[in-house]
A and B are shown apart, each in its own frame.
Chain A
Amino acid sequence: MTGRRIGVAVAILALIAVPFVIGEVYYVNIASQILLYAIFALGLNVLVGYAGLVSLGHAGLFGVAAYVTAYLLAAGYGHLVAILAAIAAGLVVTAGFAALALRATGISFIMISLALGEIIWGLAYRWISLTNGDNGISVATRPAPFGLPLTSARGFYDATLVVFLVAVAACAIFVRSPFGAALCGTRDQPRRMNTLGYHVWMIRFWAFMFSGLLTSVAGILFVYYNEFISPQALALTASAEGLLMVISGGAGTLLGPVIGAALVVIVKNVVSAYVTRWNFVLGAIFVLIVVFMPEGLVPGSVRFWRWVTASRRPRVAATVVERESRP
């Protein structure tokens, strides 16, 4: 356990040190993007990994918060008002999403969430008098919490890191709480949970709300990062990318979505500078992950590492098993 704590401390220090180590503004910005999408992926992971509900509509929730922030800022409201209103709106829409989508599980859940996501995208795209359609909404300012301006790449990274760490901590607490355990129970044995007296629907609903909260936070960060929002950020491809982050990293783990977010952001932004056909690369990576590490990169690597260390150990273990298996 202490080893784990040291590991966490080292990881946090390393994240704080990132801007100093890489220096170049461009890569600091990429790091901010990774953290931002990691929060999005963590939120999605609550549903996908722990509740076993695969949502293909989360970009819609992300977009609601982002649009509300942008709209209110453009209308001249302050940052605090915009952010709080965005979170509130995000949660209200999440509740609506949950009420409709949780009528089903499995593939039907995927489809309902997809349809809901498409509705929000369709509104952002076509309700032009409200959303400005394809032209999007520009936000000229970033906030300055406690007098610290976020205009520089460093400042923004630090702020995103704080939010990210809070999100990770919240997820860790969530997973280990009795509620988290109950949620995993509803994923694996919904009927048994029901018989045991748990309100399965209610557990899923609150998990959805928690997921929606994280997603809304990511949406707000997205607007501040880009200082811009347009319907593309809500499209089906955006939901799909979020899902890819979760699954490729490893659904149902804390680290997995973060690694997955890093993978997707790096392929999209860094690899695309060297390889013209980066979409192909992204697609191929996902297919390869499914074929060779179907459980995702993080659990897959752990398994691989165990296998390597196990095979390196002298064959004592194997002989023992052999001997025992003989009658």
Chain B
Amino acid sequence: MTFWLLLTVNSVTFGGLLFLLSAGFSLIFGLMRIPNLTHGSMFMVGAYLGTSLLSGALGITLNFWLAAVIGAVEVALLGALMERLLLRRLAGQQLAQVLVTLGVSFMAADLCLMGWGGDPISVATPPALAGFLRFGGAVFPLYRLAVILIAAVVALALWLMLERTRLGAMIRAGVDDPQMARVVGIRVSQLFTIVFALGAGLAGFAGMIGGPILSVYPGLDQDMLPLALVVVILGGTGSLLGSFVGSIIVGFIYNFGQALLPELAYFILFLPMVLVLALRPQGLFGGQVL
């Protein structure tokens, strides 16, 4: 019983983390039609920048949450820069986009190795959340519960943004019909930069939030990118609800698969993705932003 409870809570935690990572990925994908293969790198860079802010290696020492937010802002700026300098000129050319995002992810991985070395960096759990919650016979780390809460808050904020703000309306219009959006006077170019930066920032934020669970190490980017892809494909591109549901599903499949069927863990992780693609290529919630 304890075992199942623990796995369930953990699945939701992992799902929450995946949601932070993949929400931006999904929006970028849905709006700009860019398969952004640097998304895993953004997760990793966010985590590395966050650890440096946390440890004071950059001259200032911040607490965990500030480090996570400022790290995320930095990654968002890097994302905006990348969109302006590189992706901008490749609109509509999927081949070139694949090539350039892969190229940048190679470079980012190597730069991180240069800058932070190969040693894994473990991120201390914020002291206030270092404790445990006891329930039945099981013990739940507070931090993992907090991750669920953070993911829920971010999801709510994104939903409000998409539903209630002008920016959100423009994004929805853009995902629905990019040409029409342009016709009715939405400045698509500016919108793209904003969404790309937002997605990058969320990924960077997720990296730091994941830090106390996953720690930061070279190769983290490649570990996370396929998971984000699965989520987005399962949920449908450009759909916030889709990435939310997809994240939770993948969180459960991942945790229970590893525990119960380790030999086929990857098989059952990617199989639903193939099935969804074959039976419903647009994903579970494809085409609807919310």
Contact = CB atoms under 8 A, between A and B. Distances in A.
* A and B associate in one complex: yes
Interface of A: 48, 54, 56, 100, 103-104, 106-108, 110-112, 114-116, 118-119, 121-123, 125-129, 236-237, 240, 243-244, 247-248, 251, 277, 279-280, 282-287, 289-291, 294
The listed residue with most B CB atoms (<10 A of its CB), out of A100, A125, A290, is A290
Contacts of B229: 111, 114-115
B102 A107 contact: no
Contact of B267 (A123, A251, A284): A123
B130 interface: no
A285 B230 CA distance: 29
A293 to B, nearest CB: 10
Contact of B106 (A100, A247, A283, A290): A283
B277 A100 contact: yes
9 contacts: A48-B95, A54-B94, A106-B94, A111-B229, A126-B266, A247-B99, A282-B103, A283-B103, A284-B103
B266 A237 contact: no
Given A122-B266, A126-B264, A284-B103, A110 B281 contact: no
Contacts of B263: 126-129
Contact of A277 (B114, B277, B281): B114
A280 B107 contact: yes
Interface in B103-122: 103-111, 114
A86 B267 CA distance: 22
Given A100-B278, A104-B277, A122 B94 contact: no
Contacts of B262: 126
A122 B262 CA distance: 11
A189 to B, nearest CB: 17
B271 interface: yes
A236 B109 CA distance: 15
B266 A118 contact: yes
Contacts of B271: 119
Contacts of A243: 98-99, 102
Given A119-B274, A279-B106, A126 B267 contact: yes
Contacts of B104: 283, 287
A265 to B, nearest CB: 16
Contacts of A283: 102-108, 110
B222 A287 contact: no
A116 B86 contact: no
A290 B33 contact: no
B270 A108 contact: no
Nearest to A128: B263
A48 B114 CA distance: 34
Interface string B220-239: 00100110011001000100
Contacts of A54: 94-95, 98
Contacts of B189: none
A244 B99 contact: yes
B277 A115 contact: yes
Given A240-B102, A286-B102, A103 B278 contact: yes
Given A104-B277, A110-B98, A126-B263, A115 B230 contact: yes
A80 B103 CA distance: 40
B106 A286 contact: yes
B234 to A, nearest CB: 10
